[in-house]
Amino acid sequence: MFALVDCNNFYASCERVFRPDLNGKPVVVLSNNDGCVIARSNEAKAAGIPMGAPAFEYEKLFEQHSVQVFSANFALYGDMSSRVMDILSGYSPDMEIYSIDEAFLKFTGFEHFDLQQHGASMRSKVLKWTGIPISVGIAPTKALAKVANRIAKKYPTETRGVYIIDSEEKRIKALKWLKTEDVWGIGRQHSQRLYRMDVATAYAFTQLRDDVVQKMMSITGLRLKHDLEGIPTLDMEEAQIKKNIATTRTFETNYTQYGQLAERISTFASACAEKLRLQNSCCHSLMVFIHTNRHREDLPQYSRNIVIKLPYPTNSGIELTKFALQALKQIFKQGFAYKRAGVVVQDFSQADRLQRSLFENRDERHVPLFKVVDAINTHFGQQKVRLAAQDTKRVWKMRQEKLSPRYTTRIDDIITIHV
C-alpha cells in the first residue's frame, strides 16, 4: 500500500502556526514581488479568490472580506516542510518527498497494521508537533493514493482527514467521482482531448483500450492508467538532481540602462552557480533572456534570449557571471524598458567527474574559494559575500511588503511569549 500525505493549504497554514488569531479568517500568500495569489486558506477560497489572482486586481475584495495578505516567506515554509517530512519519515522507511508539501510513503510489510489508525496517528502527530494540518490518502498504487488523498481533503468531516481505497468497490466509486482534469498526471491538453472523446471521469479513462492511451499519451499515460486500475506500476523514486536551474525575476520597475540589467544578470548567474554547487554539478551551457512589459501596449516591445555553449563546464559564480554578461551584451538593445530577465543553466555534469580539455578548463582555485563563500553565506545569511558586479545596496531585492517574521530560522525573529 502507498500513502500520499499532503499539507492542507500549506503556505497559509505556516502563517497561522505562529498567528493563531488568523484561524477561521481568510488568508492568502502572494508570489515573488507580491504579484499573484499562490496559496489560499479555505475561507479565502469561499470568498471567491481564485488561484493566481493578480493582487492589485483583488485589493477591494481583500478589503471587503478582511483578507490577511502575506508575502511569500520561503525560509519559513522550507523549514516547516523539513519538520513535517522528518516526522513522516518515522512512519515508513520508504519515503519519497514529492514536493514542499507532499510526500509518498510505501507500506511494505504492514499487512498486520491498522492503516486507518496509522494514518490518523500521522495526522495527529504532525498537527501536534508542527501545527500543520495534513490529509492522508492510502491505496494500493501511487495514483490511487492521490485520489484517496483528494477525497480525504474534500470531505474532512466524513473521513477525518484519512481515506483508504482498499476494495474494488471503493476504487470504482472514487474514479467515477473524480473528473478527468483532476487526475494526477493528466494535463490540460490531454484532458481536453479526452473530453472530446466523452471521457469525463477517471473511471472512463481506465475503460479506454491500452493502445489508444499509449498512442495519445505515450507509455507514461499507459502506466498511469494501469496504476488507476489498481496495478502497481509507478514505484517510489529517488531524489533526482535537476536537469536545469533557472533564476528569473519580474522587476519592481522598468529598467532602461544596460548597467541595471547587468547587475541583475550578475546576481542571477551567481545564484545559479550556488544552486549548481549545492547538487555538485557543473553546467556546459547557459541561457540569458530579457523581456519588456507586454502589458504596456504604450511602450515599444522587445524580447530576446540567447543560449551560449561554455568553453568548459563550471559552477563558479565568477565564471558564470562573466559568460552571462557576454550573452547579455549580445542581446541588449537601448531604447526599451525591460521588465523581466533571467539566467538558465543547463547541460550538467557531476563536478567531481569532469572531462578535462587540452586547452581551457575552469579555474580550480575557484573550488576552495566558493566552498568558503558558501559556508560563510550559510552561517551568516544569504549574500553576505558576493561578487563586485552585484549591487552592495541590494537594489534587486524582491518586493515583499507583507513578509512575516522567519520565526524558526532567524534568532531575531523568534517568537516572544509574554507571561
What number is the average pLDDT over the span 184-192? 87
Number of neighbours of residue 256 by Cβ within 10 angstroms: 12
Average pLDDT over the chain, rounded to an integer: 89
Q: How far is the CA of 335 from the CAs of 249, 251, 262, 325, 396, in angstroms?
A: 21, 17, 16, 19, 21
* Cβ within 8 Å of residue 303, ≥6 positions away: 289, 290, 291, 292, 294
Using one digit for the tens of pLDDT, what is the confidence trace for 273-282?
A: 999 998 899 9
- Our separate counts of H helices and E strands in the chain read 14, 12
What number is the average pLDDT over the span 382-403? 70
* Residue 394 reports pLDDT greater than 90: no
pLDDT recorded at residue 305: 95
Q: Are 308 and 357 in contact (CB under 8 A)?
A: no
Q: Between residues 34 and 88, which one has the greater pLDDT?
A: 88
Using one digit for the tens of pLDDT, what is the confidence trace for 79-110?
A: 999 999 999 999 998 999 888 999 999 998 88
C-alpha–C-alpha distance, residues 281 and 196, integer Å: 44
* Residue 395 reports pLDDT greater than 60: no
Q: Which domains does the chain have, with CATH numbers?
A: 2-163 (3.30.70.270), 167-228 (1.10.150.20), 244-380 (3.30.1490.100)
* Residue 226 reports pLDDT greater than 90: yes
C-alpha–C-alpha distance, residues 81 and 83, integer Å: 5
Q: How confident is the model at residue 240 (pLDDT cuts 50, 70, 90)?
A: low
* Residue 396 reports pLDDT greater than 60: no
Nearest to 290 by CA among 324, 320, 315, 261: 261
pLDDT recorded at residue 415: 83
* Cell numbers describing residue 335: 531604447
pLDDT > 70 in the chain, percent: 96
pLDDT recorded at residue 373: 86
Helix/strand/coil (H, E, C) string of 133-147? CEEEEEECCHHHHHH
* Residue 239 reports pLDDT greater than 60: no
Residue type, 383: Q
Q: What is the pTM of this model?
A: 0.72
